[in-house]
Amino acid sequence: MLAVMSLENEKYVLFTTFRRNGRAVSTPVWLVQMPDGEFGFSTGSESGKAKRLRHTPRVTLQGCDRSGGDAHGPVYDAQARLVTGTALAQVRTAITAKYGAMATALGVAESVAKRIGAKRFGSERVGVVITLNAG
Span 85-132, pLDDT tens digits: 999 999 989 988 888 766 555 554 555 555 555 555 556 889 999 999
Report pLDDT for 9: 87
pLDDT value of position 114: 55
Max CA separation in the chain (angstroms): 47
72-89: pLDDT as tens digits: 999 999 999 999 999 999
pLDDT tens, position by position, 50-66: 999 999 999 999 999 99
